[in-house]
């Protein structure tokens, strides 16, 4: 190798450089695609408004319609996650 020649990176060095965490890369650290962290102690809130719009299209006596329209417009994500499975089961109820 001649003096002053630039050495090509090894395949391992290329992989390591590619998979560095974004926060360690000064050019991308400020443009991280991860969502901003929630303030300490603040629960994540989920809106039910889009689900309620779907529920309004169900038959008036459908159990899912009755249940969803009785829920508040917003709820903590943990509560939403615990109720979503039951809502999916009710969606399969045939009212025809």
For 16-41, the pLDDT digits (tens) are 665 555 555 555 445 555 566 656 66
Contacts of residue 68, defined as CB under 8 A and 6 or more positions apart, other chains included, come to 48, 51, 52, 55, 87
How high does pLDDT run on average in the chain?
77
So what's the pLDDT on residue 43? 75
Measured distance between the N- and C-terminal CA atoms of the chain, rounded to whole angstroms: 81
Residue 2's pLDDT band (boundaries 50, 70, 90)?
low
HEC-encoded secondary structure of 53-87? HHHCCCCCCCHHHHHHHCCCCEEEHHHHHHHHHHH
């Amino acid at each position: 190798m001649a003096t002053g020649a630039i050495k090509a990176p090894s395949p391992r060095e290329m992989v390591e450089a590619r998979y560095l965490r974004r926060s360690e890369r000064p050019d991308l650290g400020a443009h991280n695609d991860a969502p901003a962290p929630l303030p300490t102690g603040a629960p994540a809130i989920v809106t039910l408004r889009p689900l309620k719009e779907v529920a309004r299209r169900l038959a008036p006596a459908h159990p899912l319609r009755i249940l969803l329209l009785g829920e508040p417009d917003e709820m903590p994500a943990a509560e939403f996650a615990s109720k979503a499975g039951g809502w999916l089961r009710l969606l399969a109820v045939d009212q025809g």
